[in-house]
Amino acid sequence: MASISAAIPALPRKYHAASIWALYVIGLCPAAWYFYQAATGGLGFNPVKEFEHLLGIWALRLIIATLAITPLRDLFGINWVRYRRALGLLAFYYVLMHFSVYLLLDLQLNFAAVGGDIARRPYITIGFAALLCLIPLAVTSNNWSIRKMGQGWIRLHKVVYLIAIGGAIHYVLAVKSVTSGPFAHIALIGILVAYRLFRRPLLNWKRGRRQPAQLAR
Amino acid sequence: MPAYRPPHISPSEITPKDIYLSRRSFIGAAAAAGFGLAAGGEAWAAPLSAAPGPYKLNEKLTPKEAVTTYNNFYEFGVNKEDPSQNSGAFKPTPWSVKVEGMVGKPKEFGLDEILKMKLEDRTYRMRCVEGWSMVIPWIGFPLSAILDQVEPLGSAKYVAFETVVRPEEMPGQGGLFQPLPWPYIEGLRMDEARHPLTILAVGLYGETLPNQNGAPIRLVVPWKYGFKSIKSIVKIKLVEEQPQTTWKNSNAREYGFYSNVNPAVDHPRWSQATEQRIGEGGFFGTKRVDTLPFNGYANDVASLYSGMDLKANY
């Protein structure tokens, strides 16, 4: 296991901050590129729907990346925790853009239709609830909040598991049939959330294996 | 039935033939270069002449490029661009359609014979169950013309249709995650099948059907959601019981046998009150219009369903 982390060259500490900013820039590139494509006719004959769907899919991908940070460290010794806040915030920005496109370009500020959708269509109800749940997480994604909230911060940010499951259900309910694309996203979310259930016993077991060696010393 | 008047299409809205032919040769060359394939489907596109038909429609036609690149045809993949991109290897010729079941004279119709039917121009609205619509100038003939030739028995109450299965030519029919079971099957009640609006289409925009639109022969039932209008038909069977249909089998709560366009009956997951006109408005001004009962053909077909609860029989 440790060999995998050894195979990846460590980034010198002085580049850490710059690499996080680079991640924000790279992370927003798909949205910028698809917006350009949609505005110039590159997304086909239903550019609004296409753009809306792409933003939603990228939001799910970023949530998957956020959830993957912990198992990467536990199982492979790769410590990318410094990128987790950026990935989580990017996911929030994509969900916000996804909703804005639906509100502004798809339903064109027809608030009655938006309200009706949220009230009556389970996949939109779930998607909207996930967006609302993301707001407190995004607002508290800073060092000050972490210091101030202590254990409460950790409890609050566990809501991301519910958001991820909600996002997966939203996706399943929105498509006419679950093909390989949706399946891959949903399966990854399922595996990464389920991992949290087995994490404690797994870490205890790993620690237990290390112990005898230390005793023998 | 209203008298025919020629549709009012300004010449500026029609892509000049030499432009789309040059696009065609470009696409063909690109396909040949990229995949080492001759563009079989494109070679099939041939001009079709048709007489003016009934049912005039004073609405702006959806651009041909939209009609031929924004498609639901899961046999070629589930994304809208998949059918136009993945159907190059499909061979619509030679072709034949078996018409059988409860008929006096079962018959296999060859494509040559089908193309010799009395072809008409039929410009229809097309409303997809997903909430978008188009206006498409089809070329075809009434389904009843074929039914008449096989002499249906009195016991035949429904018509069942079947799409071709060719995984080697239709990439969506292969692979691990199949969106639907194949063959795609559809059905109509006999009176729906014999209605003069119901046609078998063999062309659009003055040419034979492109592969992605259901070459070489497909059903068009303009007052029903698009998935009822089954593509690339190889079998038509007259039966006594209501036939199975693909989307109803896949999710009976959401897709019914009738599937008449109805703004008052929502899809369980989305509203059917409005529709987006594809190819109009663009990115910053999506064109949404109200969906009409029976897709605007209520005067012609509502009587078929008199006394029926359209909420229960969705």
Distance from CA of A77 to the nearest CA of B (A): 33
Q: Rounded to an integer, what distance in angstroms lies between the CA atom of residue B128 and that of residue B275? A: 9
A49 contacts in chain B (CB < 8 Å): 276
Assess if residue A9 is contained within a domain.
no
| In-domain check, residue A216 | no
Contacts of B134 in chain A (CB under 8 A): none
Look at residue A189 in the predicted model and tell me its pLDDT: 97
**Which of A46, A105, A180 is facing B176, going by the closest CB pair?**
A180
A4 occurs within a structural domain: no
CA dihedral B173, B255, B64, B281 (to 10 degrees): -130
The verdict on a CB contact (< 8 Å) between A45 and B278 is yes
Give the Cα separation of B188 and B242 in Å (integer): 8
DSSP type of residue B230: -
Contact A105 B283 (CB under 8 A): yes
Identify all chain B residues contacting A178, using CB atoms and an 8 Å cutoff: 177
Contacts of B236 (CB under 8 A, 6+ apart): B97, B98, B99, B100, B146, B159, B160, B161, B162
Do residues B206 and B15 touch, judged by C-beta distance below 8 A? no
Residue of A nearest to B255 (CA): A176
CB-nearest partner of A45 from B74, B250, B279: B279
Among the partner-chain residues B269, B279, B284, the one whose CB lies closest to the CB of A105 is: B284
Tell me the three state secondary structure of residue B201.
strand
Q: Over range A35-51, report the average pLDDT.
A: 92
Q: Which of A126, A176, A185, A186 has the most B C-beta neighbours within 10 Å, making it the best mutation to test the interface with B?
A: A176
Instruction: Give the residue carrying structure tokens 């229809």.
Output: B124
Find residues 167-186 of chain A whose CB sits inside 8 Å of chain B.
173-174, 176-180, 183
Which of B29, B50, B15, B39 shows the shortest CA–CA distance to B211?
A: B39
Contacts of A39 in chain B (CB under 8 A): 283-284
Tokens matching residue A201: 């016993």
Chain A interface, mutation test: which of B267, B271, B283, B290, most A Cβ atoms within 10 Å? Answer: B283
Please state, rounded to an integer, the average pLDDT across all residues of chain A: 91
Q: Under a CB-based contact definition with an 8 Å cutoff, are residues B24 and B45 in contact?
A: yes
Tell me the count of A-B CB pairs closer than 8 A: 62
| Bridge partners, B233 (sequence order) | B163
**A114 vs B: CB within 8 A:** no
> Residue A8: which residues within 8 A CB-CB, separation 6 or more?
A78
AA letter at A97: M
With a CB cutoff of 8 Å and minimum separation 6, the contacts of A167 are A59, A60, A63, A127, A130, A189
Q: Nearest CB to A44: which of B80, B179, B284?
A: B80
What local confidence, expressed as pLDDT, does residue A178 receive?
Answer: 84
C-beta of residue B119 within 8 angstroms of C-beta of residue B290: no
Instruction: Give all strands (DSSP E) within chain B, no chain letters.
Output: 51-52, 96-101, 107-110, 120-127, 132-142, 158-163, 185-189, 199-204, 207-208, 218-220, 233-239, 274-277, 288-290
Tokens standing for B282?
């663009």
What per-residue confidence (pLDDT) applies to A206?
85
Cross-chain CB nearest to A44 (options B70, B266, B271) = B70
The pLDDT of residue B20 is 52
Residue B200: strand pairing partners: B141, B219
The phi and psi torsions of B100 (rounded to 5 degrees) equal: -150, -170
In a domain, A93, yes or no: yes
- Whole-number Cα distances in Å, A122 to A167, A171, B131, B195: 12, 11, 17, 38
Per-residue confidence in pLDDT tens, chain B, 314 aa: 556 665 566 555 666 555 555 555 555 444 444 343 434 444 467 899 899 999 989 899 999 999 999 999 999 999 999 999 999 999 999 999 999 999 999 999 999 999 999 999 999 999 999 999 999 999 999 999 999 999 999 999 999 999 999 999 999 999 878 889 999 999 999 999 999 999 999 999 999 999 999 999 999 999 999 999 999 999 999 999 999 999 999 999 999 999 999 999 999 888 899 999 998 888 888 888 999 999 999 999 999 999 999 999 99
The pTM for the full model equals 0.82
Asked if B33 is an interface residue toward chain A (Cβ–Cβ < 8 A), one would say no
Distance CA B301, CA B260 (A): 10
Answer yes or no: is A5 within a domain.
no
Domain that holds residue A159: 14-206
Q: Which residue has the higher pLDDT, A216 or A132?
A: A132
* A7 confidence band (pLDDT: 50, 70, 90): confident
- Please give the Cα distance from B102 to B155 (Å, whole number): 7
A61 to chain B, closest Cα gap in Å: 19
Between residues 129 and 158 of chain B, which touch chain A (CB distance below 8 Å)?
Answer: 130, 132
A16-39 and A84-101 are packed helices; what angle lies between their axes, rounded to 10 degrees? 20
Please name the residues between 216 and 255 in chain B that touch chain A, using a CB distance below 8 Å. Answer: 250
d(CA A45, CA A48) in angstroms, rounded, equals: 9
Among candidates B230, B287, B297, B231, which has minimal Cα distance to B262? Answer: B297
CATH superfamily assigned to domain B18-305: Oxidoreductase, molybdopterin-binding domain (3.90.420.10)
Residues 3-62 of A with CB under 8 A from B: 38-39, 41, 43-51
Q: What are phi and psi of A167, to 5 degrees?
A: -60, -40
Question: Angle between the A84-101 and A47-76 helix axes, to the nearest 10 degrees?
Answer: 160
pLDDT of residue B286: 81
Looking at chain B, how many residues does it have? 314
8 Å CB contact between A210 and A86: no
pLDDT digits (tens, 9 = 90+) for A100-145: 999 999 888 889 889 988 998 899 999 999 999 999 999 999 999 9
Identify the three-state secondary structure at position B227.
Answer: helix
Structurally, how many domains does chain A consist of? 1
Q: What are the tens digits of pLDDT across the range A25-40?
A: 999 999 999 999 999 9
